[in-house]
Amino acid sequence: MADHRFSRGFNSPVLWLFSVQSLIKLCLSFLALGAVVVEGQTEDTFRAGNTVFSPAVAAARDLRYLLYDINPPEGFNLRRDVYIRMASLVKTLRRHSDWVLVLPPWGRLYHWQSPDIHQIRIPWGEFFSLTSLQGNVPVIEYEEFIAESGGPFIEQVLVLQNYAEGWTDGKWEEKVDQRPCVERLLYSKDKQGYYRGWFWGYEETRAVNVTCLSAQGHASILAPLLQNNITSTSVMLDKAETVLHDHYAGKDYWDTRRSMVFAKHLRLLGDEFRAKYLNSTDEQDQTIYNEDWTRIKNKLGSARGGPYLGVHLRRKDFIWGHREDVPSLKGAVKKIRNLMKKNKLDRVFVATDADEEELEELKKILPEITRFEPTWEDLELLKDGGVAIVDQWICAHARYFIGTSVSTFSFRIHEEREILGFDPKTTYNRFCGDSEKECEQPTHWKIVY
Ligand SMILES: Nc1nc2c(ncn2[C@@H]2O[C@H](COP(=O)(O)OP(=O)(O)OP(=O)(O)O)[C@@H](O)[C@H]2O)c(=O)[nH]1
Ligand SMILES: *[C@@H]1O[C@H](CO)[C@@H](O)[C@H](O)[C@H]1NC(C)=O
Ligand SMILES: *[C@@H]1O[C@H](CO)[C@@H](O)[C@H](O)[C@H]1NC(C)=O
Ligand SMILES: *[C@@H]1O[C@H](CO)[C@@H](O)[C@H](O)[C@H]1NC(C)=O
């Protein structure tokens, strides 16, 4: 099937020739090997690991499962942020009993619009390194949950919501209360009295009970309730983004963030692309990566980065609203040329969600542009999420990076560069709108180790 979005790369300098499939196959066979080794380790590292326990074993251990989901319109990079909040909650819960975090399958994201490819029920292992995640908190994929908990049943769904009355007296206080549902429930009862809902595209999944919970505060305010008031083995928090970070940019935040290592096949693809089109290798660029994130502790300024400018140019919904902090294409290219000259870089890598029309214009006014453009077959394997990660990985390795104002996609690149050890001056930069007066630059968040 011809896909107009990606068929244009041919006979342009940005053509992506490398066979993604063969590399992925190679990686997957490595992953399979890795899993065998890891199983032995996880038993003692964590009591819940990659291994699937039989229902009997899981029950004997008094395991409890925390599942969660997020409001459908939220994008990939905000979802990554909510994972950090949930990991923090599970750490709090684990002080008292044996909780495991169940990873919500990826799919049906508003921005993932590539036609004709299957983009639901995607396990986290396709985007992130599970062993790395498990080095922070015990996590399992949803299908492992089904296997070890005895079937596609979630005992208790708690739909988080704000308080109907808002903040009383304009005073902020942290609180949690069982309340009637404010909005119409996205779950309905079937003939057997079970609740049916989206459940990440797993149609056979049922919930035994669904109730609403008004919550206002950080994620761990839910811990006492989950521990004391609710006895179900499996509890799912829906609209989990309602609760806030326990401590934004604190040690726990960064531990979890650092554990969110991209899947190896995606990093390898990004590295291949860097080597092939951007003359960028880890040795030259001083960006040597350690498979074990707990051992990465790079000094700021130690990473040099590849000889290219990295750009994240967020378009689509960011320009539809005519936001004054987002530049025109001309404005962006002017800034790009300026930065290339200033940093003595003759190559520029651009990650963007621009539509066809804008891309054509961009290529016209910036002919030396390099982009990661997968073929349809590659896209089918990587999915929109994998392509976005490869884009982020390449931007993260640039000598100098500039992103888009308040884009979570750009924020995640900042964090990746902070982990790699770049000088903050080369990271916390964003485009200014063409007529923006005070163009405040992004905040530098230092890693707490
Ligand atoms: N491949 C690729 N995809 C992009 C790029 N920019 C945006 N996207 C896609 O558009 C989505 C939305 O952009 P983000 O800035 O990540 O925002 P989000 O967290 O997903 O959603 P919001 O926070 O609501 O904006 C991403 O998750 C990608 O799927 C890009 O440079 N490259
Ligand atoms: C949880 O239980 C405690 C003690 O039984 C009770 O005071 C509290 O109101 C309950 N919390 C919720 C949110 O139902
Ligand atoms: C559903 O869960 C709520 C909250 O735990 C509880 O108060 C209620 O009794 C449960 N309903 C049923 C039918 O079990
Ligand atoms: C690639 O980079 C190296 C070292 O940074 C440099 O010596 C070499 O000339 C570059 N090659 C090309 C083709 O630009």
Q: Do both 186 and 326 map to the same domain? A: no
Boundary-marking domain end, from 251, 276, 302: 251
Return the structure tokens found at 229.
Answer: 């008031």
**pTM confidence score:** 0.88
Among protein residues, the one whose CA lies closest to atom 3 of ligand 2: 229
Q: Do both 176 and 276 map to the same domain? A: no
Contact between 426 and 305 under an 8 Å Cβ cutoff? The reply is yes
Residue 209 CA from chain centroid, whole number: 29
What is the pLDDT at residue 316? 93
> What are residue 100's DSSP bridge partners?
65
**267 in a domain, yes or no?**
yes
Q: Is 384 in the pocket of ligand 1 (CB under 6 A)?
A: yes
Contact between 302 and 272 under an 8 Å Cβ cutoff? The reply is no
**7 in a domain, yes or no?**
no
Helix (H, G, I), strand (E, B) or coil at 186: coil
Q: d(Cα 57, Cα 49) in Å, to the nearest integer?
A: 13
Contact between 164 and 216 under an 8 Å Cβ cutoff? The reply is no
| Closest by Cα among 149, 80, 336 to 328 | 336
Please state the domain count of the chain.
Answer: 2
Q: Do both 345 and 246 map to the same domain? A: no
Sheet holding 306-313, edge to edge: 369-370, 348-352, 306-313, 398-402
Q: What is the CATH number of the domain that holds 113?
A: 3.40.50.11340
**182 in a domain, yes or no?**
yes
Q: Do both 190 and 320 map to the same domain? A: no
Which of 5, 74, 77 has most ligand 1 atoms within 8 Å of CB, for mutation?
77
Q: Do both 310 and 384 map to the same domain? A: yes
183 is catalytic: no
Single out the catalytic residue among 43, 74, 165, 241.
74
Q: Do both 86 and 226 map to the same domain? A: yes
Helix (H, G, I), strand (E, B) or coil at 421: coil
Which ligand 3 atom is the nearest neighbour of the CA of 178?
A: 4
Which ligand 2 atom is the nearest neighbour of the CA of 178?
A: 13
Task: Say what angle helices 76-93 and 251-259 make with each other, to 10 degrees.
Answer: 120
**24 in a domain, yes or no?**
no
Q: Do both 280 and 243 map to the same domain? A: no
Q: Do both 382 and 290 map to the same domain? A: yes
For the chain, how far is it from start to end, CA to CA, in angstroms?
Answer: 48
What is the pLDDT at residue 38? 36
Q: Is 373 in the pocket of ligand 1 (CB under 6 A)?
A: no
Expressed in angstroms and rounded, the spacing between residue 77 Cα and the centre of ligand 1 is 7
Which of 81, 313, 353 has most ligand 1 atoms within 8 Å of CB, for mutation?
353
**54 in a domain, yes or no?**
no
What is the pLDDT at residue 58? 67
Strand ranges, E, within 104-198: 139-141, 153-161, 175-178, 188-189, 195-196
Domain hosting residue 317, numbered range: 263-426
| Closest by Cα among 216, 240, 295 to 84 | 240
Ligand 2 pocket by Cβ (under 6 Å)? 176-178, 225, 228-229
Expressed in angstroms and rounded, the spacing between residue 233 Cα and the centre of ligand 3 is 14
| Per-residue pLDDT in tens (0 to 9) along the chain, 449 residues | 333 322 222 233 333 333 444 444 444 444 433 333 333 333 333 334 445 566 666 666 789 999 999 998 898 999 999 999 999 999 999 999 999 999 999 987 777 777 777 889 999 999 999 999 999 999 999 999 999 998 999 999 999 999 988 777 777 889 999 999 999 999 999 999 999 999 999 999 999 999 999 999 999 999 999 999 999 999 999 999 999 999 999 999 999 999 999 999 999 999 999 999 999 999 999 999 999 999 999 999 999 999 999 999 999 999 998 889 999 999 999 999 999 999 999 999 999 999 999 999 999 999 999 999 998 888 989 999 999 999 999 999 999 999 999 999 999 999 999 999 999 999 999 999 999 999 999 999 999 99
**23 in a domain, yes or no?**
no
The residue written with tokens 């800034």 in the block is: 335
Q: Is 312 in the pocket of ligand 1 (CB under 6 A)?
A: yes
Q: What is the CA radius of gyration of the chain?
A: 23
Q: Do both 297 and 367 map to the same domain? A: yes
Task: Say what angle helices 408-420 and 251-259 make with each other, to 10 degrees.
Answer: 90
Q: Is 284 in the pocket of ligand 4 (CB under 6 A)?
A: yes
Which ligand 1 atom is the nearest neighbour of the CA of 351?
A: 31
Phi/psi class of residue 175: alpha, beta or left (left: φ > 0; alpha: ψ in -120 to 50)?
beta
Q: Do both 110 and 140 map to the same domain? A: yes
Expressed in angstroms and rounded, the spacing between residue 187 Cα and the centre of ligand 2 is 25
Q: Do both 151 and 222 map to the same domain? A: yes
Boundary-marking domain end, from 228, 251, 274: 251
Q: Do both 299 and 408 map to the same domain? A: yes
Boundary-marking domain end, from 251, 284, 302: 251
Which of 209, 222, 225 has most ligand 2 atoms within 8 Å of CB, for mutation?
225
3-state secondary structure 265-284: HHHHHHHHHHHHHHCCCHHH
CB atoms near residue 22 (< 10 Å): 9
What is the pLDDT at residue 2? 32
Q: Is 383 in the pocket of ligand 1 (CB under 6 A)?
A: no
Q: What is the CATH number of the domain that holds 281?
A: 3.40.50.11350
**315 in a domain, yes or no?**
yes
> What are residue 106's DSSP bridge partners?
122
**4 in a domain, yes or no?**
no
CA distances to 51, 134, 139, 341, 387 from 293, rounded to whole Å, are: 21, 11, 16, 35, 22
What is the pLDDT at residue 259? 98
